[in-house]
Amino acid sequence: MVSVMTGMTSVIAQVTAAGDRKSLLEYVRAGGGIGYFIILLSLVAVGLFITQLIRLQRSRLSPEHVQAHLGNLLERHDVQGAMQFCRDETNACFLTRVFGAALSRCCRSAFGFLELKSALEEAGQQEVARLYRATDGIGLIAAVAPMVGLLGTVVGMVGAFDTISTTEGVAKPGQLAGDISIALVTTVQGLVVAIPATAAFAWLRNRIDSVVAEIGETVDELASRLEGASKPAAAPPAGARGRPTPQPTPPSGPRA
């Protein structure tokens, strides 16, 4: 066992000493099939990050023209027109999905627009959860990449010990170099993918919170335009119903 560890140490020293002469492609090849799979994961993570970066823009979640037209409909208390506008696929965005779900709920409810605020909050939570789920792919890659690298390490070590078991006497470093390269390179590749993916995942979550907070102010401003429709007309006091209005008694004149 001591001789095996001594041989592995010498191979690692040789790889380190020759690191200046190795190209990146050679290191990638040294990782074998597992290394190529980790590289594939990195490409998928980059694609997902760019997609979410484009998607999580204020101009896409709440376009100005959609906001203006919806505001005009709500200001006129045209609820049916606002619902049809939100259902139109050409206007589909975060803002219209939230208002469309909230207005539909208020129209079905016995309380009407008195529960508009709670309906908007519930619809907003559902849409925020939808945005969060879209970033789960990057979080999954950040968690899986180190384990795939560890798998490559284990596979490389198993191959190294298989080489030792089939070799008469002490195995030469050159016979172990391939397996040890897999063991070392895949670990590095897994960490190189996992660290940026973890940072990107956290940044996207914070980006969602920031953009949703900005859109929340817009939602509150649009909802305030329906306050007139949600306030019932003031009823007269209970004691004044059916009672005639008293007339003032004219003052009596001087008696003759």
Instruction: Note down the domain range covering 170.
Output: 2-12+24-57+135-221
Are 7 and 172 spatial neighbours (Cβ–Cβ below 8 Å)? yes
User: Are 122 and 170 contained in the same domain?
Assistant: no
Residue 201 tokens read as 């995942």
Q: Is the pLDDT of residue 231 over 60?
A: no
User: Are 33 and 109 contained in the same domain?
Assistant: no
- What mean pLDDT is predicted for residues 27-43? 82
Q: Is the pLDDT of residue 254 over 80?
A: no
Query: Can you count the helices (H) and strands (E) in the chain?
Result: 11, 0
User: Are 42 and 66 contained in the same domain?
Assistant: no
User: Are 75 and 188 contained in the same domain?
Assistant: no
How far is C-alpha 47 from the geometric centre of its chain's CA atoms?
14
Residue-level pLDDT at 198? 96
Q: 49 versus 29: which is more confidently predicted? A: 49
Rank 16-25, 57-66, 159-168 by mean pLDDT and report only the highest: 57-66
Residue 191, number of CB atoms within 10 A of its CB: 15
Residue 218, number of CB atoms within 10 A of its CB: 16
Q: What is the pLDDT of residues 115-140, one digit of tens each?
A: 888 889 999 999 999 999 999 999 99
Mean model confidence pLDDT for the chain: 77
Residue-level pLDDT at 225? 80
User: Are 92 and 215 contained in the same domain?
Assistant: no
Report the residue count for the chain.
256
The DSSP 8-state label assigned to residue 133 in this structure reads H
Residue-level pLDDT at 128? 94
User: Are 122 and 146 contained in the same domain?
Assistant: no
User: Are 101 and 215 contained in the same domain?
Assistant: no
User: Are 98 and 40 contained in the same domain?
Assistant: no
In angstroms, the CA 29 to CA 206 distance is 37
- What mean pLDDT is predicted for residues 172-185? 62
Residue 141 lies in a domain: yes
User: Are 46 and 159 contained in the same domain?
Assistant: yes
- How many structural domains comprise the chain? 2
In angstroms, the CA 194 to CA 188 distance is 10
Q: Is the pLDDT of residue 15 over 60?
A: no
Question: How sure is the predictor about 174, in pLDDT bands with cuts at 50, 70 and 90?
Answer: low
- What mean pLDDT is predicted for residues 65-77? 89
User: Are 128 and 140 contained in the same domain?
Assistant: no
User: Are 170 and 182 contained in the same domain?
Assistant: yes
